[in-house]
Structure 1
Amino acid sequence: MEQAAQTPPYQSDINTVSQQWKTDAAKGISPEEAAQRLEQYGWNVIEATRGRSTWQILLHQLRSAVVYLLLAAAALSAFFQEWADAIAILLVIVVNTVIGFIMEYQAEHSMEALREMTQLRARVIRNGRTLEIPVEEIVPGDLLFLEAGDLAPADGRIVEASQLQVNESALTGESVPVEKNTQALEGKTPLAERHNMLFKGTYISNGNARMICTATGMQTELGHIATMVDEAAAGTTPLEKKLEGFSRRLMGITLIIVLVIFVAGILNRVALLDMLSTAIALAVAAIPEGLPIVATLALARGMLRMARHQVIVKRLSAVETLGATTVICTDKTGTLTENSLEVAALAMPPEQVLEKDPNKGQPLAESIPEEVREGGNYRYILDVAVLCNNASLAKQNGGWKESGDPLETSLLKFAWQTDMNVEEYRQRYPKEKEATFSSETRVMATLHKKDQGWFIAAKGATENLLEYCTQVLDKGEIKELTEPDKRKWLQRTEELAGHGLKPLAFAMREPEQPAEELLRELVFLGVTGFLDPPRKDVKQVIKECRSARIKVTMLTGDHPATARNIAEQLGIGEKEQDTVINGRDMKSYAQLPAEDKERWAQAAVFARVDPRQKLDLVSVLQERGQIVAMTGDGVNDAPALKKADIGIAMGIRGTQVSQEVADMVLKDDAFTSIVKAIEQGRVIFENIRRFIMFLLSCNLSELLVIGTAAALNLPFQLVALQILFINLITDVLPALALGVTEGSEAVMEKAPKNPEQPIIDRKRWIAIWSYSAVIAAAALGAAIMDAGTENEQAPNNVLFFTLIFSQLLHVLNMVSAKEPLFNNEIWKNKYIWLSIGVSSLLTLLTLFIPALSKVMHVGAMESRDWLLVAAFSVGGFVVVRVLKQVRLIL
């Protein structure tokens, strides 16, 4: 439905925009009004991003060289009036199409389920209350709050802005962030110059803002572009490209072999039609046309499994890279630690230090002595903690409802625990201006109107905040802050950090007039220490990484002593943990000498690092051939996340921008989830490699059987429909079952795979041809042993059934030679046994259903025939297992 056609919002002042959209620029609309507008305007979605329809998936199955080959075979059979064969081949086409459709449909819906898990949320203000809702539920007239790291979820008119800068490159192509304001514009203004508007798909790179939503969904500027441009075709993943190239080469080889077999049959005076239909069927059977579909399904299923373990993998290609990861560069806070911050220590001038008693559950705020509560420093620190703060906290059902940075919410908890009414205090002293925290300044400051004059509140890293301080509050008296004083407070900060606490310094100023520059001539108040203990399960997981030859490097903005303390507790770095590289000492990549690059590559702990240094570290590691997984949560982390081989964003504390550019999102922010994802990446790739080897060895065994029978002019041969039936029985269910194998317990004891290595290397090709030769020899051997009996059809029957059961048993050999015969992931996979059972039952139906027996050219079998089938099928399985045990093949 069309949204309101009025004066463009960028030409209107804020009051006019509020009236046009019947909203309050301070309180927003009511939830009831929002529900009505959702009915009127529809969901806030870009429709062009929908997946393929059911009919598109179905039609895709028919656009295949395999289908064309089968149709040609059916047409030839009909031309020569072989109606049974023609109908049977058409049935094969139907079965192939249905199987392919089901597999692709499942993969498509697995990906759709994954997309639903990665839905973004937005903060809206309705009836004066801040709520988090899915972006799809935003309606025109909604009042939204956005800050650095957020993606604009809709188009809107800015009504309040603080140091707001927006990256609009996704819309305008301009890579430099644009400064925004609230001033109305005159006349028609180009999109790139509408400095009072925010547009869907752009992101906030600095500051914060409130905006009134003026367009959603297809009515946004991004929606207009989507209607003009057809959605680009989805790119293929590296794995899919490898599989496609692999299939093309195999098709070429297969067609040459089929041509040789065809010519050999003609020279042996086999009927032309029989050889033609056999050649076509053989080509179909030999080419593993289902490889890309099965691979995609295995990837999608694996990704869905990861999602259930709190890991959203957004790109199929990331799964392949996960298995090759050699270095994990991880944040500390919330990833290696619990991210359950609480104020555990308070140091104030001159020498006063208050610490939480670890033997008591009582919060520090409740144990503060009365004389300290009445002191100036403590009172001002509480003021700063509440006012210089963008988080929100409310008591709910005996607990807390938190929104915002965990450090800031912990400060609000500290204030609540002193019986301070945080919301009332904030309303009494509203924020007028803000110098936002950035990874460069590491300081935040806000300006507030107080009863008598003005108040500047500031907090940040001690060493950074002290640069802006000229005075210190000492026992209620403001004194000059000397250089020895600064060194003393840096030492005190070092002591807190050395005990594993995260330090944060506080300062303030009370100017008579509203200040233009907030960060100057501040009065130092003291330092708090936050306790954030390591996650209990991380230490063991880091040991697992070591056995998997994956190095763990910790990157943090925290104090070096805090970083060293956590690293020692978790066992990060071993010998390297004694050296913590400080971001202050890190040169830019362009100025980095070779010895520093080597030192970076060997180091395991980096403290006080900023996003640019993260990016430089990724470059250094990649130079040395490492496959790097990098975590990040801020808007400034986006370049490092994109540069890394695997970008990992935090789902809880990560910004929308970091989540958008990342390959993975951790819903629980936990390091263990990263390692779990790497493990699953290895398992998925190993499963794909397994079913490729299984399919190839089975299909090539069919080539060898028919080629040998044709070349030696043996008195038995498989007919076309038998070949097609074998292909259906052994290529579908067992391959799918292999694709969902849980994986070996030893998968994390191996070194990461080389991403440049082909899926099937030389050793595996040798194994595939060896498997094929054994299976073919078993089938031909059984048939030869049965030749010469009175029943001329018996050898063909024995050949047919031995080949099927040899291939079905062969799936049990798709394990490493190092693993036990029975106690391995293949034997434990219930789907493997189910696939063998169902495939065996379908095979036996060709004997028991007369119509099928006639079409498949099989007849009654005697006990001797079945003994040969069983002996040679099991014998082939045993031979392969022996060859694996003596390490002749993989």
Structure 2
Amino acid sequence: MSRAESDTTPWATEQEQILGDLDVRVDQGLTVQEAQARLERFGPNVLTDFRATSWLTILWRQLRSFIMFLLAAGAALSFALGDHLEGVAIVAVIVLNAMIGFVTELRAVRSTEALRELGSTETTVRRSGVVRRLPAEELVPGDVVLFEGGDVITADVRILTASRVEIDESMLTGESIAIEKKTDALPTDTAVAERNNMLLKGTSVAKGSAEGVVVSTGMDTELGRITALVQTATDRRTPLEERIDALGRVMGWLCIGLVTIVGILGAIGGKDTTEVVKTAIALAVATVPEGLPIVATLALARGVLRMARRNALVEQLSAVETLGSTSVILTDKTGTLTENRMSVTDVVVAGDDMRPTTIAIPTSMEVADLGERVSALLTAAALCSDASVSRDENGREVRVGDPMEVALLVALDRIGLDREQVLVNEPRIAEEAFDPDIKMMATFHRHADEFRVIVKGAPGAVFPVSRFVRAGSGTVAFDGRQLESWRAENRRLAAEGLRILAVAERAARSPSEPYRDLTILGLIALSDPPRTDIVESIEHCQAAGVDVVMVTGDQGPTAEHIAASVKLIEEDDKGQALTGKELQALLDEGEAGKERLLATRVFARTDPEQKLKLLSFYQAQGEVVAMIGDGVNDAPALRQSDIGVAMGKRGTQVAREAADMILLDDRFSTIVVAIEQGRIIFRNIRSFVFYLLSCNVSEIITVGLAAAASAPLPILPMQILFLNLVTDVFPALALGVGDSGRGIMEHPPRPKTERLLTGRHWAGLMGYGLVMSAAVLAGLGIALLVFEMEVKRAVTVSFLILAGAQLGHVFNMASATSGLLVNEVTRNPWIWAAIILCIGLLAAAVYIPVLSEVLGTEEPGKEGWLLVLTLSLVPTLVGQSMRAVRQVARRLGRPR
């Protein structure tokens, strides 16, 4: 039976009891009939997807906003009054905005689809006493399975026998080194990363072989549990989405208030109901910033293109801005801060003075330059390994095997030697696989008429079984003084965080008893180096007020050494890392453990659930959290985070599909670029939102004051839609893609609670709105009273004045510290292109008959154009005058 129905801790249960519970014999396995019955009972060994969200549900999410309801009400009233053209135009706006969000949300189920693909393989199974290969989907609890090097584990398996087996669990637990597996039962509370008697679905065999019994399949496996976490982890709304929604609610309630006031005043004044409704519709259209979603989306898309050129691929547009407000980055270690490739950095051989001498391994050097002792050491180490390094048909390097052994082969290649050529003269005839108990392995090679035994392992294991050390052309006794000097060199290198291997050899008459009377060839030091640009990138994050926190499945000392080497922590802070268990304990303490968690920069031995809990902890503190990862174990946190960032080259498909952004070059430094772009985009968004809403306010005031004075509408609903979707959008878009200036990364991230527009911004846009409205109403009054124009021509003049005033208003968006004539707005070529385009569209609105008929415009005449050219400049002149006054006041040392 499965873990879901009986024993939930197979790692803590003795083999005999597990086999009894599962009713299976190791030598026979399940019968074919019993296996079929269990398959029908437990179902196929696949990762089951939850009920997918329908496309109708996704579409409804786009239509349920407050602003959409107001626009729908306006469209309904237009149709009811017989103005079908106006109603169709408003409906078109609704559809356009809805489709923008609909298209992007269809990606929601990709994480689960990627996880499911891990199950498409075959497994060696013993059934009815016969060993056979079967599709992994057909495995059931109780199946006896066999795995060897290179196999993918296709279910959760309790190990029964193991022959020097090592498992690569980095994609599930985050552990960077292949894990040695045993068969003994473990304590019940053993963490997932330390259950060394289990083979977990989704991991792979790095070396050796194992036989075991399936205890869990499908969603009952650890990988299935992660799938459930990915499915249940909620997608959080980004700060930009929250700010725009809040802004929409403010404008929505303003619209309701204005429409209510107009209705009450109309009823009191006895006005015609149709006119009152038309005025209400005009106010509603003027209040709603129809162009805001379009401009925001296009501005974000522009930011996405910029980032793509810097190798940051964004899958969700709003994620760009989220990076700009990021305050905490949770990052994995292996493959993110480090290269995920071990390399030989130093070798130790006996010098001419018979003492151990450390030699750094260069990138390329002839064997003769390194010396016979060094070449003999690296050759022996490469011979005593099971990894391989080759090139495929495209000439790309393919590395297979344990990263440490791969590093030995690469080191041999770097000094100009080839293991395969050496094996021709010294073929391998036998092997003693690595034994974790004695921490050594051995290979036997035929050499002339005898055997050459090569041993590699931990120095503490090799030293006691050695009698000599290679020195010069001969050997010297490995006596007490030699032992102490070699131990000292080993300790020195280990203190630098390097992994040390000892390599020794001896001649033998037969391939047996390898671990005695050895001659030490030397030591080899290996490291998994940090990425070359990681220190600078972390320093840039810290300067920008962004905390970087390492969350890894590796052991604490290893994680702390990497953290110190990349300046994530100081050397004096070593020993302060928290394990997953300690993390859980501190979370359970509540406020008592809060300070300790916030002060910690390294979390080790964490599982996927603990990563999620740490992520939720930071989010509960009000932090905007970015999660960086590349493995299956990172997927839930990538999905739950404010923004998930996956590695493109080394990242698994699961991680990439769960993420909002993918680093195509796998460089942490790209995140710094992304954060900077996010901040620039937010500043640009604030600028064009200010511009759009000040234009909307001018329309609201214009229509509202005219209604209060019982004057003709200065601008018609269709004309307002034209302005909001055409002449307002293009200048706003140009603002959205402009340069926001320097020094943006010298400030801390914005608080998550900071509004898109502050009180100061609202006061400013109200002031500009009043100025533009005054210019429009003045033009309407002069056209009607002084030039005695007909209402249609006068309305055309006021429409053109408002359009011109809004176009000129874009120059008021320059920062207060920039020049009056030369600034980020006037230097932006897109601004000038937008103004020229809008002037052409305004001319078309007047002189093209079809468009003129739709908008209700006509040729304004000389007097009308004179009013347009003079009054439309008023807001620009006022705005630039205010900027000039502020700059003079700043130079004189007065407050702004």
TM-score > 0.5, shorter chain as reference: yes
Q: Are residues 667 and 404 of structure 1, via their aligned partners in 2, closer, same or farther at CA, if it must alter by over 3 Å?
A: farther
Partner of 1:848: 847
Q: Are residues 471 and 104 of structure 1, via their aligned partners in 2, closer, same or farther at CA, if it must alter by over 3 Å?
A: same
Letter in 2 for 1:285: A
Q: Per-residue displacement from partner, 1:158-189 (whole Å, max 9, x unpaired)?
A: 9999466989999xxxxxx9x999xxxxxxxx
The structure 2 residue matched to 1:763, chosen from 756, 760, 765, is 760
After TM superposition, the structure 1 = structure 2 runs for residues 294-693 of structure 1, keeping only pairs within 5 Å, are 295=296, 298-299=299-300, 302-303=303-304, 305-313=306-314, 318-326=319-327, 343-348=344-349, 351-353=355-357, 355=359, 362-363=364-365, 367-374=369-376, 378-384=378-384, 386-387=385-386, 389=387, 392-394=389-391, 400-402=397-399, 408-416=405-413, 417-421=416-420, 428=428, 457-458=456-457, 466=460, 470-471=464-465, 474-475=469-470, 484-485=484-485, 488-493=488-493, 497=496, 504-506=500-502, 526-529=522-525, 544-545=540-541, 548-550=544-546, 579-583=571-575, 588=582, 610-612=604-606, 631=628, 648-654=645-651, 664-693=661-690
After TM superposition, the structure 1 = structure 2 runs for residues 210-249 of structure 1, keeping only pairs within 5 Å, are 236-249=237-250
Letter in 2 for 1:871: T
Identify which range, 544-553 or 47-56, moves more after superposition.
47-56
Q: Are residues 549 and 560 of structure 1, via their aligned partners in 2, closer, same or farther at CA, if it must alter by over 3 Å?
A: closer
- Residue 96 of structure 1 and its aligned partner are, at CA, apart by 2.0
The size of the alignment, in residue pairs, is 782
Q: Are residues 403 and 712 of structure 1, via their aligned partners in 2, closer, same or farther at CA, if it must alter by over 3 Å?
A: farther
Distance 2:136 2:308 in 1: 29
Structure number, greater radius of gyration: 2
Q: Per-residue displacement from partner, 1:232-256 (whole Å, max 9, x unpaired)?
A: 9976445434433442343122211
Partner of 1:257: 258
Distance 2:72 2:348 in 1: 79
| Aligned partner of residue 757 in structure 1, secondary structure | coil
Contact 1:323–1:678 (CA<8 Å) still a contact in 2? Answer: yes
The structure 1 residue matched to 2:81, chosen from 77, 83, 91, is 77
Contact 1:468–1:520 (CA<8 Å) still a contact in 2? Answer: no
Q: Per-residue displacement from partner, 1:303-360 (whole Å, max 9, x unpaired)?
A: 56534432345666754442233455767887678888754531135634363586xx
Distance 1:147 1:298 in 2: 51
- Residue 552 of structure 1 and its aligned partner are, at CA, apart by 6.4
Q: Per-residue displacement from partner, 1:357-404 (whole Å, max 9, x unpaired)?
A: 86xx63375633235545xx55543344x33x5x64437777744467
Contact 1:503–1:527 (CA<8 Å) still a contact in 2? Answer: no
Partner of 1:23: none
Identify which range, 100-109 or 445-454, moves more after superposition.
445-454
Distance 1:523 1:646 in 2: 55
Partner of 1:879: 878
- Residue 845 of structure 1 and its aligned partner are, at CA, apart by 1.9
Partner of 1:192: none
Distance 1:667 1:717 in 2: 53
Partner of 2:789: 791
Q: Are residues 407 and 233 of structure 1, via their aligned partners in 2, closer, same or farther at CA, if it must alter by over 3 Å?
A: closer
- Residue 676 of structure 1 and its aligned partner are, at CA, apart by 0.9
Contact 1:58–1:97 (CA<8 Å) still a contact in 2? Answer: no
Letter in 2 for 1:864: E
Letter in 2 for 1:488: A
Contact 1:346–1:355 (CA<8 Å) still a contact in 2? Answer: yes
| Aligned partner of residue 755 in structure 1, secondary structure | coil
- Residue 548 of structure 1 and its aligned partner are, at CA, apart by 3.1
Distance 1:743 1:773 in 2: 27
Distance 1:336 1:232 in 2: 25
| Aligned partner of residue 666 in structure 2, secondary structure | coil
Q: TM-score, normalised by structure 1?
A: 0.67
After TM superposition, the structure 1 = structure 2 runs for residues 82-161 of structure 1, keeping only pairs within 5 Å, are 86-93=83-90, 95-97=92-94, 99-100=96-97, 103-104=100-101, 107=104
- Residue 705 of structure 1 and its aligned partner are, at CA, apart by 0.9
Q: Are residues 470 and 290 of structure 1, via their aligned partners in 2, closer, same or farther at CA, if it must alter by over 3 Å?
A: farther
Letter in 2 for 1:260: I
Contact 2:325–2:624 (CA<8 Å) still a contact in 1? Answer: yes
Letter in 1 for 2:501: A
- Residue 92 of structure 1 and its aligned partner are, at CA, apart by 0.9
Distance 1:209 1:283 in 2: 72
Distance 1:644 1:308 in 2: 25
Contact 1:337–1:535 (CA<8 Å) still a contact in 2? Answer: yes
| Aligned partner of residue 347 in structure 1, secondary structure | strand
| Aligned partner of residue 348 in structure 2, secondary structure | strand
Distance 1:840 1:479 in 2: 93
Partner of 2:807: 808
Distance 1:90 1:803 in 2: 23
Identify which range, 91-100 or 420-429, moves more after superposition.
420-429
Contact 2:630–2:651 (CA<8 Å) still a contact in 1? Answer: yes
Letter in 1 for 2:574: N
Q: Are residues 627 and 371 of structure 1, via their aligned partners in 2, closer, same or farther at CA, if it must alter by over 3 Å?
A: same
Identify which range, 346-355 or 862-871, moves more after superposition.
346-355
After TM superposition, the structure 1 = structure 2 runs for residues 143-292 of structure 1, keeping only pairs within 5 Å, are 162=165, 236-268=237-269, 270-288=271-289, 291=292
Q: Are residues 829 and 801 of structure 1, via their aligned partners in 2, closer, same or farther at CA, if it must alter by over 3 Å?
A: same
- Residue 848 of structure 1 and its aligned partner are, at CA, apart by 0.9
| Aligned partner of residue 421 in structure 1, secondary structure | helix
- Residue 842 of structure 1 and its aligned partner are, at CA, apart by 2.8
The answer as to 2:780 corresponding to 1:780 is no
| Aligned partner of residue 752 in structure 2, secondary structure | coil
Q: Per-residue displacement from partner, 1:222-275 (whole Å, max 9, x unpaired)?
A: 99x99xx99999764454344334423431222111221333345555432122
Distance 2:605 2:335 in 1: 17
| Aligned partner of residue 89 in structure 1, secondary structure | helix
Contact 2:347–2:523 (CA<8 Å) still a contact in 1? Answer: yes
- Residue 801 of structure 1 and its aligned partner are, at CA, apart by 1.2
The sequence identity of aligned pairs, in percent, is 31
The answer as to 2:705 corresponding to 1:704 is no
Partner of 1:65: 69
Q: Are residues 559 and 87 of structure 1, via their aligned partners in 2, closer, same or farther at CA, if it must alter by over 3 Å?
A: closer
Q: Are residues 657 and 230 of structure 1, via their aligned partners in 2, closer, same or farther at CA, if it must alter by over 3 Å?
A: closer
Q: Are residues 827 and 529 of structure 1, via their aligned partners in 2, closer, same or farther at CA, if it must alter by over 3 Å?
A: farther
Q: Are residues 811 and 640 of structure 1, via their aligned partners in 2, closer, same or farther at CA, if it must alter by over 3 Å?
A: same
Distance 2:781 2:735 in 1: 32
Q: TM-score, normalised by structure 2?
A: 0.66
Query: Structure 1 stretches of 5 or more lacking a match?
Result: 1-9, 20-43, 79-85, 127-137, 171-176, 182-194, 212-217, 460-464
Distance 1:855 1:47 in 2: 51
Contact 1:103–1:294 (CA<8 Å) still a contact in 2? Answer: no
Distance 2:671 2:147 in 1: 31
- Residue 753 of structure 1 and its aligned partner are, at CA, apart by 0.8
Contact 1:471–1:480 (CA<8 Å) still a contact in 2? Answer: no
